[in-house]
């Protein structure tokens, strides 16, 4: 089930699949962003954080934000399983 939300005027969705939560920012200057998180609240927080980064830094490409979010998620998953 997808949950649609809005933050700072930008829409995003969160959903779960196979014990993970995912988020998708609908449209940021014609580019979408997607990420994964361990929980629904983490997915919402990461999507909102990405939207805030986009809003505060219009010159930064969206893929850099997405890669940063992915790196933080992977580090948290690796630390949790250790």
pLDDT band at 61 (very low <50, low <70, confident <90, very high): low
DSSP the chain: --EEEEETTEEEEEEEETTEEEEEEEEETTEEEEEEESSHHHHHHHHHHHHHHHHH-TTS-HHHHHHHHHHHHHHHHHHHH-
- Give the residue numbers spanning the domain of 24: 3-81
Model confidence pLDDT, tens digit, residues 32-54: 789 999 999 999 999 999 888 87
Question: What percentage of the chain reaches a pLDDT higher than 70?
Answer: 78
Question: Rounded to an integer, what distance in angstroms lies between the CA atom of residue 31 and that of residue 15?
Answer: 19
pLDDT band at 15 (very low <50, low <70, confident <90, very high): very high
Q: Identify which has the larger pLDDT, 60 or 17.
A: 17
- pLDDT averaged over every residue in the chain: 81
What is the domain count for the chain? 1
């Amino acid at each position: 089930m997808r949950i649609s939300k809005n933050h700072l005027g930008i829409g995003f969705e969160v959903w779960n699949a196979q014990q993970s939560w995912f988020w998708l920012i609908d449209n940021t200057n014609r580019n979408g962003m997607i990420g994964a998180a361990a929980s629904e609240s983490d997915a919402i927080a990461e999507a909102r954080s990405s939207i805030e980064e986009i809003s505060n830094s219009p010159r930064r490409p969206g893929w850099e934000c997405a890669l940063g979010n992915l790196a933080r998620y992977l580090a948290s998953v690796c630390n949790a399983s250790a």
